[in-house]
Structure 1
Amino acid sequence: MKRFYILSILMLCLMQVVHAQQPALDAAILVETQRGEYFQLTIGGRLINPAPAPRVAVGELPAGRHILNLRVLGRGRRAQNITAEIILASGYESVYTLVPTVPGRAFPLVLRKVEDVPYSRPLPPAGGNEVCQYVMDQQDVDRVLRFMKDEGFDDRRLDIAKGEIKLAGGIMTEDLYLLMKAISFEDRRVALAKFAYNYVCDRQRFSRVLDALDFSNSKRELQDFLYKEIR
């Protein structure tokens, strides 16, 4: 009994020592893009936002050194990967912005620190469609467009587009628009848009795909579908 008592005391002391050695989670970071580009943020090897977003906030981090990896998506170009080492101050939220390296140009981007502000509350979770686990990049979209072009029938083109979107797990609205334009018949375009809705990572821009339709009845059908989905 005495041995058990001593062992319990030792375990309690050990737990207190371990707890004391754990860093306080009293730092935070906010990363956003100046022009609204979508990106994924990884901190210390942990992916923060599987769904790309133009603004990512992370709270309850230990102060000190962190390695950031950012994958920035870009229309008409390959994704840009950025690695940066930062220092988070205890009790502060560090604000960073992705800005063009050369003023007046869209890419490439560079991560710049804006300010440190007192951190006193939990930050909201990163925005974006959490269903998205991966986003088709420019190379993926070009490949799918080539596959679709090689097919002479719209039904086959529709099947290819659906399969590739499902396989990738995510697509941006602008890229969905391109795939829809590669299909000749309106009803197939509408079918692709409806299928892809759950895979679109920037759903707030989904109405853009209406521009891929020529007839008012097709646009009304897709609008009705969209309004039902967002209720």
Structure 2
Amino acid sequence: MKRFYFLGIFFLLLGHALSAQPALDAALLVETQRGEYFQLNIGGRLINVAPSSRVAVADLPAGRHMLNIRVLGRGRRAQNITAEVLLERGYEGVYVLAPAVAGRAFPLVLRKVDQVPLSRPLPPAQGNDVCRYTMEEQDVERVLRFMKEEGFDDRRLEIAKGEIKLAGGLMTEDLFLLMKALSFEERRVALAKFAYGYVCDPQRFSRVLDALEFSSSKRELQDFLYKR
């Protein structure tokens, strides 16, 4: 009898514990207006390790949530945004990271733009599954200084490749600056090919073509991109 008694108490407590759990009946979508990549943290939980320009999160309890957003910089330092959002039961809150001042790229602010019933399918979260971290402005300046101190282009190339690999990611605009720090065209092409898998904004990769002077070098890099 005691065994059944304790089992009854166990299942009663389990039922109370389950009923105490918050209902997962809300969702959140955050995206950038201009395509900047960011990482989203909700209540201390990192949602997307790989930076993305659009992140959708389902199965959230309705109510207030504290968001911490790290927006990767394009040739500037990353921006950290802290904001509180209110999610209503049965709806997906849609928020956009947009420039605080019209005509300027930064800083960004989080704005609510829509509220969609959950009866509609949630859009998938997309992102760069390679870029997990990115070189900050001060990192790029430090690498440029190291490269300038070296007298041989081969050594400059190795420094740039090593720093990119160590950081794990960089923006296309920063890659352009590193390429311009090399004297010989073939080294610039080599660096671009190496760094392609590390750029956090591959849609802007064609920008590095401006760091090349000869049409033959540009065709070589374009052929490389085509094959990729």
What TM-score, normalized to structure 1? 0.89
TM alignment of 1:1-231, pairs within 5 A: 2-120=1-119, 123-229=122-228
Q: Quote the Cα distance in structure 1 between the aligned partners of 2:173 and 2:75.
A: 10
Q: What code does the residue aligned with 1:152 have?
A: G
Give the partner amino acid of 2:167.
A
Work out the percentage of aligned pairs sharing the same amino acid: 75
> CA deviation digits over 1:96-119, x for unaligned, max 9?
122222223222222111121112
Task: Check whether the contact 2:38–2:69 (CA below 8 A) recurs between aligned residues.
Answer: yes
**Secondary structure of the corresponding residue to residue 26 of structure 1:** strand
Shift of 1:45: 1.3
Q: Structure 2: state its 5+ residue gaps.
A: none
Structure 2: distance between partners of 1:130 and 1:31: 18
**When the two structures are aligned, how many residues end up with a matched partner?**
228
The normalised TM-score by structure 2 is 0.90
Contact 1:59 1:122 in 2 (8 A): no
Q: Which amino acid aligns with 1:191?
A: A
Question: What is the root-mean-square deviation of aligned Cα atoms in Å?
Answer: 1.9
Q: Partner of 2:24: helix, strand, or coil? A: coil
After superposing on structure 2, the runs of 4+ consecutive aligned residues of structure 1 that deviate more than 4 Å are: none
Stretches of structure 1 that go unaligned for 5 or more consecutive residues are: none
Judged with a 3 Å threshold, the aligned counterparts in structure 2 of structure 1 residues 169 and 5 are, in CA distance, closer, same or farther, namely: same
1:53-83 deviation line (CA, Å, top 9, x unaligned): 2222211111111111111233343222111
